[in-house]
Amino acid sequence: DTGVSQDPRHKITKRGQNVTFRCDPISEHNRLYWYRQTLGQGPEFLTYFQNEAQLEKSRLLSDRFSAERPKGSFSTLEIQRTEQGDSAMYLCASSFRGQGNTIYFGEGSWLTVV
Amino acid sequence: AQTVTQSQPEMSVQEAETVTLSCTYDTSESDYYLFWYKQPPSRQMILVIRQEAYKQQNATENRFSVNFQKAAKSFSLKISDSQLGDAAMYFCAYRSAWIDNDMRFGAGTRLTVKP
């Protein structure tokens, strides 16, 4: 299976610690997205890459959050000085222009800040 | 700004029967895409069906079909012959044809399938 993969699937961390999530998109997809989802809600857009360029960041992405996509392949999302309000599912997705703008999601990384 | 509204937080259907999930959206654009995604308890979001706004014909994928009413800005999902495996959260989503990052999701409808 060559779908979007995310690691780790679950992370429990103490408040104030830093965490990093990794996403490997579907190969040849040039677009990569990060979303955040809390219980009972739909995903909310965080940021978006086209190849290695980060083209858009949501207001939800405070300065404690940083995302990278070196070489336009995998991406990392780092949260510094985590807060309890950061507890959520972090979803990665990818797409390729020309496929009708369909976004394919990974299984998500579930973060719990205690 | 585009918004997506799913007015049914929860729905229930008997196995083998038909259920319709509602979705409305607000936009000033004429070109866009609409999606229904399914999120089972395992949490991976899976594409169920997609509709291009410029197409008048309603999309169909096996037991899943949509009723796309562009003027009314309505995009409902019909699941026929419901199966236990259809139980999940269903999200309606809107994506602009011109702004690549602009994908908006509704709050979701939790579908329960009763045996």
Whether A35 has a pLDDT exceeding 60, the answer reads yes
Number of other residues whose CB lies within 10 A of the CB of residue A44 = 15
Which residue of A56, A105, A110 is in closest CB contact with B101?
A: A56
pLDDT of amino acid B75: 97
pLDDT tens digits, A38-73? 988 889 989 989 888 888 888 778 899 999 999 888
Q: Which of A1, A99, A101 to mutate to test the interface with B (most CBs of B within 10 A)?
A: A101
Q: Distance (Å) from the C-alpha of residue B20 to the closest C-alpha of chain A?
A: 19
Q: Distance (Å) from the C-alpha of residue A42 to the closest C-alpha of chain B?
A: 5
Q: Using a CB–CB cutoff of 8 Å, tell me whether A41 touches chain B.
A: yes
Q: Distance (Å) from the C-alpha of residue B43 to the closest C-alpha of chain A?
A: 6
Q: Using a CB–CB cutoff of 8 Å, tell me whether B85 touches chain A.
A: no
Q: Using a CB–CB cutoff of 8 Å, tell me whether A42 touches chain B.
A: yes
Supply the mean pLDDT for chain B: 92
Instruction: Give CA–CA dist B22/B20, Å, rounded.
Output: 6
Q: Using a CB–CB cutoff of 8 Å, tell me whether B52 touches chain A.
A: yes
Decide which of B13 and B101 is more confident: B13
Which amino acid would we find at residue B22? S
Which residue of A42, A89, A105 is in closest CB contact with B108?
A: A42
**Please, which pLDDT band fits residue A11 given cuts at 50, 70 and 90?**
very high
Q: Using a CB–CB cutoff of 8 Å, tell me whether A106 touches chain B.
A: yes
Q: What percent of chain B has pLDDT over 90?
A: 78
Calculate the alpha carbon distances from B6 to A63, A87, B3 in Å. Answer: 32, 24, 10
pLDDT of amino acid A80: 97
Q: What percent of chain A has pLDDT over 90?
A: 62
Spell out the SS3 assignment of chain A: CCCCEEECCEEEECCCCCEEEEEECCCCCCEEEEEEECCCCCCEEEEEEECCEEEEECCCCCCCEEEECHHHCCEEEEECCCCHHHCEEEEEEEECCCCCCCCEECCCEEEEEC
pLDDT of amino acid B97: 81
pLDDT tens digits, B42-83? 678 999 999 999 998 999 999 999 999 999 999 999 999 999
pLDDT of amino acid A97: 73
pLDDT of amino acid B56: 87
CB contact under 8 Å between A45 and B45, yes or no, is no
Supply the mean pLDDT for chain A: 90
Q: What percent of chain A has pLDDT over 70?
A: 96
